[in-house]
Structure 1
Amino acid sequence: MTDRPQERTHRAVRPYVITGGRAGAGGEPLPWEALVVATDAAFPSYLQPEHHTILRQCQGLLSVAEVAAHLGQPPSVVQVLLSDLVQWGLVAVRPPIPPADRTDVTMLRKVLDGLERRL
């Protein structure tokens, strides 16, 4: 037998511990495609390490799904953490564009086809 340390197969901190046992954000959960950005407010010292990580990563616009990927946590956990940060005024949220307001893809295809014909 070798004396190698046993490899860890599970996260050290479980998601329910990170969220304080909360499964929801208390209101409407943030859509995964919503964009978040850290405000200019100073980071309070009482924040969890995950909150600090989110604030450091959100210096530019990131979607909720991207924040979850960077943090290595499920989007539902990140939605709870982001809701905390929004409530404390440390993160601003830009909601996703509703489908009715999005640009018509057929028009974009026509413009692209026209440009390709000119080349």
Structure 2
Amino acid sequence: MTGRRGGRPLVPAYLSTGGVARPSRPHLERLSVLSAHGRPAPDGLPAAQLALLDLLDGGALTVTEAAALLKLPVSAVRVLAAGLLDLDLVLARAPIPPAERFAPDLLKRVADGLRALKHN
């Protein structure tokens, strides 16, 4: 979590998750948006989960953004976030899907309509 010179964390990522390798919620993606519920953290919450809650206080971040700020692998943050979801301390929203492609003829129809307006 706290970095050394050279960027290597002092605590290995697997220790920050308590040795848990897989999140309890497999649907949690790299671009899932996390936000804190605003509930007080229970006593005994691991330091890494407290750090994640602090990051989310008053805002929202994707799993990837949180990983970058915590200087942890995304896989570790997915485990931490899943644990907080299980405790109902965090909300997670699926990533916003990319916009659907428009119909190929739509642009042509719009251009034709604009030309027709211009000539009137």
TM-score relative to the length of structure 2: 0.72
RMSD of aligned C-alpha atoms? 2.4
Give secondary structure in 2 for the equivalent of 1:43. Answer: coil
Larger radius of gyration: 2
Q: CA deviation at 1:29?
A: 4.7
Q: Which residue does the alignment assign to 1:4?
A: none
Q: Which residue does the alignment assign to 1:39?
A: 37
Alignment gaps of 5+ in structure 1: 1-6, 115-119
* Identity %, equivalent residues: 32
Aligned partner (choices 24, 27, 35) of residue 26 of structure 1: 24
Determine the C-alpha separation between the residues in 2 that align with 1:29 and 1:22: 17
The amino acid across from 1:47 in the alignment is L
**Per-residue displacement from partner, 1:17-75 (whole Å, max 9, x unpaired)?**
11122111134151111100000211112111111111111121110000001100000
Contact 2:23 2:82 in 1 (8 A): yes
Alignment gaps of 5+ in structure 2: 115-120
Q: CA deviation at 1:98?
A: 3.2
Q: Which residue does the alignment assign to 1:3?
A: none
Matches of residues 96-107 of structure 1 in structure 2 within 5 Å? 96-99=95-98, 102=99, 104=101
TM-score relative to the length of structure 1: 0.73
Give secondary structure in 1 for the equivalent of 2:80. Answer: helix
